[in-house]
Structure 1
Amino acid sequence: MTYKYITLIILTILVSSCALYEPKYREPFDKSTTSENQEIEKTFYLIGDAGYANQGKSTPALLALEKYLDTHKQKGNYTIFLGDNIYPDGMPEEDKKDRAIAEHRLDAQIDAVKNFDGQVYFIPGNHDWYNEGLKGLEREEKYFEKKLKDKKVFRPSKGCALESIEITENIQLIILDSQWYLEDWDKHPTINDNCPEIKTREAMFLEIESEFKKNQDKTILFALHHPLYTNGVHGGKYAPVKHLYPSQKKVPVPILGSLAMQIRTTGGISTQDKQNKQYKSLVKRLETLAKGSNRIIFASGHEHSLQYIEHKGIKQIVSGSGAKNSYATLSNDGLFAYGGQGFVKLDILKNGSSWASYYASENNEPKLLFRKEIYKVIPEFDVSAIPEIKKQTIAASVYEQEGTEKTEFYESIWGDHYRSLYGKKIQAQVAILDTLYGGLEVVRKGGGHQTRSLRLRSKDGKQYNMRALKKSGIKFLQSTVFQNNYIEESLENTISEDILLDFYTAAHPYIFTVIPELSDAIGVLHTNPKVYYVPKQRALGKYNSEHGNELYMIEERPEKHHKDLVSFGKPDDIESTADVYERLRRDEKYKIDEPSYIRARVFDMLIGDWDRHQDQWRWAEYKLENGDHVFKPIPRDRDQAFSNFDGGFLGTLRGLLGFANQFQIYDEELKDVKWINASATRLDRTLIRNSGRREWLNQAKYIQENLTDEAILNAFKNIPPEAKGEDLKLIMKNLKGRRANIVDIADRYYNYLTNLAIVMGTDKDDFIDIERMKNGKTRIIVSRIKNGKKGIVVSDKIFDKKDTKEIWIYGLDDDDVFESRGKADNPIKINIVGGQNNDVYRLKKGRKIAVYDHKSKPNTIDKKGGAKIRFTDNYQINNFDKNQNVLTTSSVLPVIGFNPDDGVRIGPMAVYTINGFHRNPFSSSHSFSGGYYFATQGFDLGYRGEFAGILGNYNLLVDATYTSPNFAENFFGFGNETENNQDELDFDFNRVKLSIYGISLGVIKNGRLGSYFEYKGTMEGIKVDNTPGRFITQEANLQDPEVFNRKWFAGLDATYRYESYDVAVNPTSGMRFEINLGGRANVDEIDSTFGYIKPHLSFYNALTRNRKLVLKTATQGQFNIGKDYEFYQAAKLGDENLLRGYRTERFTGQSSLAGSADIRYSFKQFKTRILPLQLGVFVGGDTGRVWIAKNDTSDKWHSDYGGGFWINSANAMSGTFNLFTGEDGARFSFSFGFKF
């Protein structure tokens, strides 16, 4: 009978699976819904994963696409193949056996568009990378180019990450090679070699952010192989039949199949599944960037299905069934899903709307299954109702006056800042854009991280920036703190936004007006910002909805059309910082005017301008008669000068969080030269190549001598009269005082800056000559190699050991020669990174020199000279990253918790992180923790240190623990049915005071995909206190006369852990697997040894389509091997050990096993006046037991039940509150903490 039931179930699953590939609709599809009779600007045909045609044949989807294209006018339109152009393993070499079928599969796709009179693009997918990585991509790219006679057909080209293509003035196409992001770059030594702009994943995100901002008024089609959202197999959605046949084999495995599906669904073990850690990091960042833009459509393949998804406002087209079929469902965000072959037609109309039409292949003919309007027509702003402004000036303020009136108590906490000026009205000139600067038109929105701005253009092509004086605090947080979590809408109209807006009042609202004359006095180039009142007006058009009727700053945008401007130096051209770096690498003829740059940087410190990242600079380019090109800096965006970050809160924050020391109080002294220069230090180290201390001091003296009192007075006359007062007098006084100290300030900053020196070659053949000199000095000369000999000198600098502790030398590309010579008793430590191609090392004197170069590429070691040579394909080491952070940071945050055994626990968590040359992901991290327990008056202290670069990809680990003598654990005796007499004898009776000293030394490795490995040796000393009147002294009967003596234990311990969650704070899908095993030996009685195994497995599974209801299950245990363990080393259950309704360490035995299950419900995030909050509730229960070694007759399993709630705010602050009931009564606990 059982056999018949099993057979019936299997048949039911198989039959039902046949229907799972039919179209699925959120709502009934109305075929009359159409975009016809509306003018189409461009059409894109989207098809992916089409590279699996059998020999001599095409695929149904390709044939359907071909017929559609042949019967519809297509001139000027686009067809995009979304990756996986060759199954299974990319493009082999010409002499390989699989080459013929690979070519045929490409030809089948080419044939489908042979009559297409438009542009065709092929983008790479994961399978295209599977044949020697970049080499396979290159072979595929060349094949396409030859067959289609088009050098632009394969995008992005040369194995690079990203390409942005302007289709029309209203449409932008961005193509990302998503597999580039997912790949392990250590396996591809030449990756990004041909990509001058993007050499890191972070640089890719910054470029995408820039493209989104530049094209935010357009419809952006973002094509990438891997979808951000999917309800197919890569998104953890499987047909029921997969529980029987989890692999490609035809043998059913009913129970193991379900377990395999559970692990794949929640675990994200493969990089190709959306649940994977690396995949999720890509999605989270793209999601955050996209939510800040208006009209983005993501188009992807990867899944062998057709899907249309709208996830929290983001539009996702999945069209990956060009050659295969696969299961897909709707889940909570899908509007359409189809598991058969087909393609998608995307129409973008001239009115701004866009439509997606999904076609299946039915008998090789296209059949319309679904059509959806993705974006509606862009509404026009009605400018007819805008009143005409005839006034020449208008009185206005940045903020409403009532918003700037604060109590003394408020100001004592948050500071005075320049708050009153923000609420004070000034008479500002009215700007009518039609006439200003000869007439201006709006080009697009600006892209600042703090500002609300528009880019304007005059009739002669000159561009201007128009920036509102009222900034956006939310945008600043979004771009800096919450890069992977979109929070802008959540913080609008909250007290948090009010606080951020108040934070900005630390900057003087009109201080930018003094900068031009101050800059002229010392010969620093500058923009010429002016204050205007910009009313709503016809010229603002659709931007009237967000702009107008407030105060703005308008200034020239440093770009090529302003080459005639005197304050820009009347250059031959104007470049961005990224362009300057690219040219410095390209050729030795490109140079920085170092004295001018240093003067500008000293000026930054003089005026207290802390916000000097690379986008705050433009560069005037001068072409000299000798062929050199010299770049002179044009600083811009000086609105943070003379900032006054006073108040008790910021003072406290500067002590707790290192980065907060950027926010200083402007006065005569500059106390922290490190942090006020944090945003520019990376520029200083990589742009200044020849100048030393003397130049910094000379420029400081120049400023001191030329910035006269008269120049200061004249500059400050430009402040609006209404804003002049005591604040301005104090600024001028402090400016003069800081001018007197500026030489000392420059000297102190140079001491910090030169502690680490970075020397760069070019992307051509270079000769790097290292000469060790007397008195700890080292001279490094970088010269070009011409005709095999030393040529033009690129840089020449002497470094002094008294100033410089470490030098990093980057040879960059091409064949470089490194030579060291000379003697030195105590030389500076040097790290040499050879870079690409065959580098030659002639190190006659290699002491304190470490060489790093590619392991998989040829290099030549002529002489080693005692240098340490390490050949490695570690991408982070071999790549020069100009944006690499070398700051040392610190933070101190509180942790609060409560349970009945410990009482209230409060303590700090302090983290000190050092970023140096070796990183994984930091050079070293030092965590200090402490906790005081009010119920026992005990405390514990902990230290955990990680040190990178010690053993390859493993970090060195050092752990230390100390507890006070009255630190307590519980002990109720050995056994599964021990008694708890807390009602009669109180909580103290079962408390055991333990004094613990512990230290461990080992190695750890954090895998890039979610794995964690830890191996360590331990030593700990534990002393049990002989406390009268306790269970341990009266009833424990431990039969050990030395139980109250301090015992020392040595041990070995190994841990493997794998974690994957869709959202770490509140998972709806995820898993954790951990196994910890090891052994301990009593060092005084070496025969007293035992081992242990501690496994853990937990899952999160969404139970409802909207993913609000989630089942969390967990199982864990401890199994001691041997009997020579102390009671505090035994297996235990209670409280956090999966019996939440019982006291900590409630049951003790040789082995333990417990399980738990919770039903969790998450409410929708909501706003409060303070912060956005998400609240969740849960109910659940636990069951578990322990076993003892001998005479265990218990068959009892202990259970509890209960629930609680949790809160979370922007993933930065979270708390959990629990109430569970077991046999011993109810138990309440909570924990609360912060994360930055």
Structure 2
Amino acid sequence: MPLFYRSFYQRGWLALAWVGLLAGGCARRNYFLPDSRVGATATAPLPATTDSVRVAAGRHYSQHSDLYYLFLGRHYRPVWAAPVTVPVLRLATVVPGGLRPGKAGGGFQSISMTLEGKQDREYALRALDKDPAKTLPKVLRATFLLNVVRDATSAANPYAALTVPPLARAAGVPHTRPQLVYVRPDETGLGPGSERFQGKVALLEEKYEELASRTPDLAGATNFVGGETVLKKTYYQPAGYLDQPAFLRARLLDLLLGDWDRHERQWDWAAFPEANSRTRYQPIPKDRDQVYFRFDDGLVPWLASRRFIAPQFHTFRASYGYLPGLIYQAEFIDRRGLSQLKRADFQRIAADLQRRLPDSVIERAMRRLPPAVFALEGARLGGALKTRRQHLPRAADEFYQLLAREPNLGGSAQAERFVVRRFADSTTVQVFSSARHAPTTADTLRFRRTYFTAETRTLLLDGLDGDDIFDVTTTGGGRPIRLRLYGGTGQDQLLRQGNARHLRLYPDEASDLTAAQSERPYLSRRRHTPAERTAEN
């Protein structure tokens, strides 16, 4: 989890520290159960010949009083405690050729690692349960607050990822195929990371090459890169570009599923070489941990998820609710990955998803839940998905309007020419990869879009690195869209014709959603002072 997002987790929990008194005065050492097995053999040695076991992913989340649930919510506690039959992980036979341990993974919550198979194919192993201790400052990790943060894991449906493949396949979105496994309590074949997984239920899913071999849409991909890597590549090599219609299709599926945790690290990208040294990057969503999230059913989490605290903790229900909270985590990648799409594109793809996801597909997806879990949640989740599907065009339109309100168009590490034509009712922006020459040829045109005053309040253009030129012409009177130009590094120029109303240049700065630093050009969040905002307006 990037530091920016981690700070919002911390802010939500710190604002609620007082309620942690319900969970005791300090963090419990033995918070997690040592073994997920249930029944008479739960603590007995596991015979070497055992192929499957009955487990509960997190019984410890359901061992509390009604008063506790009143304050902290019931969430998916019955699901975490439900008995499920799961195959035992056998590294030698789980896939043809077997698996061997690779590098340890996991961010601030996940327990995960990479497993390596034949022909250098890679798989991800991720425990269903999490330990979010690292989301808190070290000084708070021994306090009652850690119990509160750990308990919030019960707001996630641990088996939700199993339902995604049928929906993604029907929607035309690349996807992984996770399978449940149980890691033996005496498993040592995972190397130094074995102890972290022993006795736990986990998801095993294939990575890049294995996924490409089974997905026709990914045939021809020459490389697979992570979310931050693809942003760096397109920053330094503007000939590379994100497949925006494919990204929008994936993001609308996220909205349908209520998957709010979709920041740039939650994506992999398949690279497809094209003519003129161009590279198209197609998105592959990953880490479906927050699908069908249920959080606001207790007094404390209800307060934590308010708009003024942590709106990204967005509860899944039949209605889409507060859409800015649902898309909050993906703000940066959305603005970079959907910048060229029009309102009609959002409606066209939303209507196509409606057609591709009939009731039969949704019902088949719900049947991928383990039987005991389906009995608890299958009907409710399926019904909510059907209702959300009916209202998807409306949600897509609101999504578009939120992005169109204050677009932030970033440049690259190279010199560019931003040609802006402003009118009372609209503003047209063109970005050319050749800054010093008159932009008269189509081969140097990187971006073109017209913004309308009815949709857009402020337009921000980022030059970032390079000696950029901002060529701005304002025609006529009226009140054009406010234009904010951020030069970043380099020797930038402003060529202006017409009046300068609602036009400001910040020659040595980067805007809120991008930064001039070449190492991480997309994570800075600089905010203007009140005096600067007053001057702008």
The bucket for the TM-score relative to the shorter chain is 0.7 to 0.9
Corresponding position of 1:618: 268
Q: Where does residue 882 of structure 1 map in the other structure? A: 522
Equivalent in the alignment of 2:180: 531
Match of 1:654?
Answer: 305
Please list every run of at least 4 consecutive aligned residues from structure 1 whose deviation after the TM superposition is greater than 6 angstroms.
Answer: 872-878
In structure 2, the residue matched to 1:829 is 482
Q: Which amino acid aligns with 2:426?
A: K
When residues 497 and 423 of structure 1 are mapped into structure 2, their CA distance, relative to the original with a 3 A threshold, is farther
Q: How does 1:1007-1018 map to 2 (within 5 A)?
A: none
2:247 is aligned to 597
Is the contact made by 2:79 and 2:376 (CA closer than 8 Å) also made in structure 1? no
Q: What whole-Å deviation, never above 9, does each CA across 1:502-528 have from its counterpart, x for those lacking one? A: 321111110100111100011011111
Which residue does 1:637 correspond to in 2?
287
Match in the other structure for 1:839: 492
Residues 428-467 of structure 1: pairs in structure 2 closer than 5 A:
428-437=86-95, 438-467=97-126
Q: Secondary structure at the match of 2:407?
A: strand
**Deviation string, structure 1 residues 549-578 (Cα, Å, up to 9, x no partner):** 2211111234x6754341772322111222
Q: Larger % of helix: which?
A: 2
Are the equivalent residues in 1 in contact too, given 2:100–2:116 (CA < 8 A)?
Answer: yes
Q: What SS does the aligned partner of 2:235 have?
A: helix
Give, in whole Å, the separation in 1 of the partners of 2:283 and 2:511. Answer: 35
- The within-5 A match list for 1:129-528 is 389-400=48-59, 403-437=61-95, 438-475=97-134, 477-478=135-136, 482=137, 485=138, 487-488=140-141, 490-491=142-143, 496-528=145-177
Q: Is the 8 A contact 1:592 1:632 kept in 2?
A: yes
Q: Taking structure 1 as reference, are residues 625 and 772 closer, same or farther at Cα in structure 2, changes over 3 Å only?
A: same
Instruction: Return closer, same or farther for 1:543/1:764 CA change in 2, 3 Å cut-off.
Output: closer
Q: What is the CA–CA distance in structure 2 between the aligned matches of 1:876 and 1:731, rounded to whole Å?
A: 35
Q: SS of the counterpart of 2:100?
A: strand
Q: Deviation of residue 497 (structure 1)?
A: 4.2
| Inter-CA distance 525–668: structure 2 relative to 1 (3 Å threshold) | same
Q: CA deviation at 1:696?
A: 1.7
Match of 1:691 among 320, 341, 348: 341
Task: Report the Cα distance in structure 2 between the residues aligned to 1:526 and 1:735, rounded to whole angstroms.
Answer: 19
What does 1:759-770 align with in structure 2 at a 5 Å threshold?
759-770=409-420
> What are the residue-to-residue correspondences of 1:53-72 with 2, within 5 Å?
none
Between the aligned partners of 2:351 and 2:339, the Cα distance in structure 1 is 21
Q: TM-score, normalised by structure 2?
A: 0.83
The 5 A counterparts of 1:29-44 are none
Residues 561 and 760 (structure 1 numbering): CA distance in 2 closer, same or farther, change over 3 Å?
same
The TM-score with structure 1 as length reference comes to 0.37
Deviations 1:146-181 (A, max 9, x none): xxxxxxxxxxxxxxxxxxxxxxxxxxxxxxxxxxxx
Equivalent position of 1:801 in the other structure: 453
Structural mapping, 1:1119-1138, within 5 Å: none
CA distance in 2, matches of 1:730, 1:810: 45
Cα distance change, pair 415–811 in 1 and its aligned pair in 2 (3 A): same
Give the aligned residue type for 2:87.
Q
Q: What letter is aligned with 2:91?
A: L
* SS, match of residue 189 in structure 2: helix
Instruction: Give 1:652's aligned amino acid.
Output: L
* Partners of 1:617 and 1:635 within 8 A in 2: yes
Could you list the runs of 5+ residues in structure 1 that have no partner in the other structure? 1-200, 207-385, 855-871, 886-916, 925-946, 953-1236
Preserved contact between residue 487 and residue 510 of structure 2 (Cα < 8 Å): no
> What letter corresponds to residue 844 of structure 1 in structure 2?
Q
Give, in whole Å, the separation in 2 of the partners of 1:545 and 1:766. Answer: 52
d(CA) in 2 for partners of 1:624, 1:517: 30
Indicate if the aligned counterparts of 2:410 and 2:514 stay in contact, CA closer than 8 A: no
1:587 Cα deviation from its structure 2 partner: 3.2
Q: For residue 853 of structure 1, what is the amino acid of its counterpart?
A: P
Aligned partner of residue 698 in structure 1, secondary structure: helix
Cα contact 2:489–2:516 (8 A) shared by 1: no
Q: State the match for 2:506 in structure 1.
A: 852
Identity among equivalent pairs (%) = 23
- Separation (CA, whole Å) in 2 of partners of 1:507 and 1:873: 36
- Match runs of 1:699-738 below 5 Å: 699-738=349-388
Deviations 1:891-924 (A, max 9, x none): xxxxxxxxxxxxxxxxxxxxxxxxxx752xxx45
Amino acid aligned to 1:879: A
**Separation (CA, whole Å) in 1 of partners of 2:234 and 2:255:** 26
Query: 1:852–1:878: 8 Å Cα contact kept in structure 2?
Result: no
1:686–1:882 CA contact under 8 A, matched in 2: no
Q: Match of 1:161?
A: none
Change (3 A) 1:711 1:873: closer
Aligned to 1:812: 464
SS of 1:724 mapped into structure 2: helix
1:677 maps to a residue whose letter is I
Letter in 1 for 2:452: D
Q: Decide whether aligned partners of structure 1 residues 663 and 584 sit closer, same or farther in structure 2, where only a CA change above 3 A counts.
A: same
**Structure 1 counterpart of 2:292, which letter?**
F
Relative distance call for 1:603 and 1:807 in structure 2 (3 A) is same
Q: Secondary structure at the match of 2:309?
A: helix
Q: Which has the higher contact order (CA 8 A, sep 6+)?
A: 2
Aligned to 1:779: 428
The correspondence of residues 46-57 of structure 1 with structure 2, limited to 5 A, is: none
CA 1:770–1:876 in 2, change beyond 3 Å: closer, same or farther? Answer: closer
Alpha-carbon separation, structure 1, partners of 2:180 and 2:288: 14
Cα deviation per residue 1:492-549 (whole Å; 9 max; x = unaligned)?
Answer: xxx5444333321111110100111100011011111111112132412443333222
Richer in strand (by share): 1
Using the TM superposition, give the Cα deviation of residue 700 of structure 1 relative to its aligned residue in structure 2, in angstroms.
1.5
What secondary structure is seen at the aligned counterpart in 2 of 1:820?
Answer: strand
Q: CA deviation at 1:951?
A: 8.7
**Letter matched to residue 835 of structure 1:** G
Q: Give matches, 1:911-950, under 5 Å.
A: 919=528, 923-924=529-530, 947-948=531-532
- Kindly provide the CA deviation profile for residues 870-902 of structure 1, in whole angstroms up to 9, marking residues without a partner as x: xx89999973752244xxxxxxxxxxxxxxxxx
SS at match of 1:658: coil
Q: Give 1:825 deviation, angstroms.
A: 1.1
Deviation per residue, 1:245-264 (Å, 9 max, x gap):
xxxxxxxxxxxxxxxxxxxx
Contact 1:682 1:884 in 2 (8 A): no
SS at match of 2:310: helix
Task: State how far apart, in whole Å, the 1-side matches of 2:422 and 2:478 are.
Answer: 9
Q: Conserved in 1, the CA contact under 8 Å of 2:515 and 2:523?
A: no
Alpha-carbon spacing, 1:765–1:439, altered in 2? closer, same or farther (3 Å): same
Q: How far is the alpha carbon of 1:472 from its aligned partner?
A: 0.7
Q: How far did residue 405 of structure 1 move?
A: 4.2
Aligned-partner residue type, residue 453 of structure 2: K
Residues in 1 aligned to 2:511 and 2:165: alpha-carbon distance in whole angstroms = 47
CA shift, 1:950, in A, is 6.2
Once the two structures are TM-superposed, the CA of residue 949 in structure 1 deviates from its matched residue by 5.8
Shift of 1:413: 2.5
CA distance in 2, matches of 1:524, 1:569: 10
Residue 426 of structure 1 and its aligned partner are, at CA, apart by 0.6
Question: CA separation in 2, counterparts of 1:809 and 1:734?
Answer: 39
| Distance 1:629-1:416 versus aligned 2 partners, 3 A rule | same
Mean CA deviation greater in 596-605 or 754-763: 754-763
Give yes or no for contact 2:105–2:114 (8 Å, CA) kept in 1: yes
SS in 2 for 1:789: coil
Larger Cα-atom Rg: 1
The alpha-carbon deviation at position 786 of structure 1 amounts to 7.8
8 A Cα contact 1:397 1:424, kept in partner: yes
